[in-house]
Structure 1
Amino acid sequence: MTNIIFLALQDTIPAATQEAATPIVESQEISVNYLSLVMKGGVMVIPILLLFFFTLYVIIERAMYYKKVMKHSESLMSDVRHQVSSGKIDAAQMTAARAATAEGNILESGISMLGRPVSEIEGMMEKATNVEIGLMEKKLGWLGLAAGIAPILGFIGTIAGVIKIFYQISETADISIGSISEGLYEKMISSGLGLIVGVVAYSGYHYFNMVIDSFALRVQRQVIQFVNLITTGK
Structure 2
Amino acid sequence: MFLNFLLQAAPVTDSLANAANTAAAATTDVSVTENVSYLDFLLKGGIMIYPLIALLFFCVYVIIERYLSIKKTTKTDPNMLSEIKMQLKTGRIDNALMLCSRENTASANVLRSGISIIGRPIGEIESVMEQTANVEIAQMEKGLGYLGLISGVAPILGFIGTISGVIKIFHTISTTGNLNIQTISGGLYEKMISSGAGLVVGVIAYCGYHLFNMMVDRFTLQAQRQTLELINVIQDPGHGN
Asked if Structure 1 and Structure 2 have the same fold, meaning a TM-score greater than 0.5 normalized by the shorter chain, the answer is: yes
Q: CA deviation at 1:201?
A: 0.4
**Is 1:135 the counterpart of 2:139 in the alignment?**
yes
- What does 1:119-130 align with in structure 2 at a 5 Å threshold? 119-130=123-134
- What does 1:132-171 align with in structure 2 at a 5 Å threshold? 132-171=136-175
Aligned residues with identical type, % of pairs: 52
Residue from 224, 231, 239 that aligns with 1:227: 231
- What does 1:98-137 align with in structure 2 at a 5 Å threshold? 98-137=102-141
Aligned pairs, number = 215
The residue number in structure 1 matching 2:80 is 76
**Is 1:182 the counterpart of 2:189 in the alignment?**
no
Q: CA deviation at 1:118?
A: 0.9
Q: Normalising by structure 2, what TM-score?
A: 0.83
Superposed CA deviations along residues 75-96 of structure 1, whole A, max 9, x for unmatched, are 2112211222222212211221
Distance 1:73 1:63 in 2: 19
Distance 2:141 2:164 in 1: 36
Distance 2:142 2:199 in 1: 24
Q: Normalising by structure 1, what TM-score?
A: 0.85
The residue number in structure 2 matching 1:47 is 51
Distance 1:177 1:40 in 2: 18
Residue from 53, 66, 69 that aligns with 2:70: 66
**Is 1:193 the counterpart of 2:181 in the alignment?**
no
Distance 1:172 1:187 in 2: 21
Matched to 2:95, the amino acid is A
Distance 2:38 2:190 in 1: 12
Give yes or no for contact 2:172–2:183 (8 Å, CA) kept in 1.
no
Q: CA deviation at 1:135?
A: 1.1
Q: CA deviation at 1:229?
A: 0.8
What residue ranges of structure 2 are gaps of 5+ in the alignment? Answer: 1-14
Matched to 1:36, the amino acid is D
Pick which of 57-66 and 175-184 moved more: 175-184
Q: CA deviation at 1:183?
A: 2.3
- What does 1:90-105 align with in structure 2 at a 5 Å threshold? 90-105=94-109
Distance 1:150 1:161 in 2: 17
